[in-house]
Chains A and B, each alone.
Chain A
């Protein structure tokens, strides 16, 4: 099985290293031809506006939407989560690319600017009793989940930061920046 990591912009090498440690065959995806060789896809952190634009100019928007709708497992971290979300709280600018595969509403830069970026231990029941050390960088949050989506983690104040909808996974934080591979293993079971 080939797992693709979208390599248009952002922290894709970190996801790749994590997957390789799990013994997975990884493909960097920049073109439709590369995308055709993978069975799963991770959309990494980066700038969602940039990755969205490059998805469109690289001819990847349509193929990813199509296979995502047909059941391909896709995981978006941070910027990737914003691209997966059907709605953005503050609205999308005209012409701004999106995949919109997952029935959630995401809010960009929900925690403020860079000096508000933080690390915290997060309870994630689906991963077991051990808390998950989560790194939030200019992070988004999930304002709403649709009826088919399941909340996987919230902050103590109730803000939603991870969710799953069938074969789709979204995290507002960056498991690829920690040594903890439990989210990567969860994704490989979807």
Chain B
């Protein structure tokens, strides 16, 4: 018997496909998310919208708070570590979280190296803006990828940009001859073996979710139709007027993402969505997606 193999790490993400992973900051929110149909919860102290507002250094959450959420629900619990902060990751692994998000939403701890995720038994999800970034994270041991989007804005435009970039570059690779893949790997700054795998199979070797700015059922369905495997919703739920109803609606929309009549039905009377921020009004230094490389 072998525990925590790459197959079981990727496998959990495969079981999450077609689902919605929701940010929660208390055990009560975790229970609401679970009851509303979340496939997993992301335990953190402040949702990205508040991290953006409060400023300062954003770190791993208090273990007591993460444990409280682990005890509150039966679905998988994820938690965030800072980019490159492998000790935060060791602590999260010791707490028994089911997935670690090495996240640009927190303040990076290392501006050159991401965590060597092969060293861990717990699987990791990492953000990306393009295919090269996705493949570099997979080379480091990530078992799941998500677009970065621009977290805490309630604006889906960056998630769309990143998902279209990843999926478009995959399609481009498929059109190349085997002779051209070596240079393609060089240009993507990604390992040749992974580039070859993507060119041959037409997809990433791990599950690929959308994240960053998803606030409505239509946003979730948009990302699913573009071609991601599932969605993360951060600030979009508990920063809205009626979190439980909105959460249920986003879950329905992620499953029935091609059924417009259904999407119309679940989008009705949800109360106010989170306010949202136009990306161009954010000073460049405050953009989260440019963290990590």
Contact = CB atoms under 8 A, between A and B. Distances in A.
A binds B: yes
Interface of A: 7-14, 30-31, 45-47, 49-50, 53-54, 57-58, 78-79, 108-109, 113-120, 135-138, 174, 177
Interface in B236-267: 251-252, 254-256, 259
Contact of B252 (A7, A54, A137): A54
B250 to A, nearest CB: 12
Interface string B1-16: 1111101110110111
Contacts of A78: 15
Interface stretch (B92-100, B148-156, B271-279): B92-100
Nearest to B38: A50
B4 A109 contact: no
B14 A14 contact: yes
B251 A50 contact: yes
Given A12-B17, A113-B97, 7 more contacts: A11-B17, A45-B15, A46-B17, A49-B75, A50-B37, A114-B98, A114-B99
A26 B96 CA distance: 38
B121 interface: yes
B18 A7 contact: yes
B122 to A, nearest CB: 5
B2 to A, nearest CB: 5
B255 A47 contact: no
A9 to B, nearest CB: 4
A137 B74 contact: no
A7 B97 CA distance: 27
Contacts of A118: 1-5, 8
Contacts of B234: none
A115 B99 CA distance: 9
Contacts of B8: 114, 117-119, 135-137
Nearest to B230: A9
**What is the size category of the interface that chain B forms with chain A?**
35 or more
A177 B14 contact: yes
B19 interface: yes
A115 B121 contact: yes
Contacts of A135: 7-8, 11
A156 B19 CA distance: 34
B98 to A, nearest CB: 4
B252 A109 contact: no
Contacts of A7: 18
A50 B3 contact: no
A55 to B, nearest CB: 11
A108 B73 CA distance: 12
A136 B15 CA distance: 11
A65 B211 CA distance: 36
B39 interface: yes
B90 to A, nearest CB: 12
B34 interface: yes
Contact of A109 (B5, B7, B9, B74): B74
A148 B12 CA distance: 32
Q: Which of B1, B12, B252, B254 has the most A CB atoms < 10 Å from its CB?
A: B1
B48 interface: no
Given A9-B255, A115-B3, A119-B5, A177 B37 contact: no
A84 B204 CA distance: 32
B202 interface: no
- Among B18, B97, B122, B254, chain A packs the most CB atoms within 10 A around the CB of B18
Contacts of A10: 14-19
B141 interface: no
A14 B99 CA distance: 21
5 contacts: A11-B15, A47-B15, A47-B19, A120-B1, A120-B2
Contact of A49 (B2, B16, B34): B34
Contact of A47 (B1, B39, B256, B259): B39
B123 interface: yes
Contact of B74 (A9, A14, A49): A49
Given A8-B18, A138-B98, A115 B256 contact: no
A119 B2 contact: yes
Nearest to A108: B74
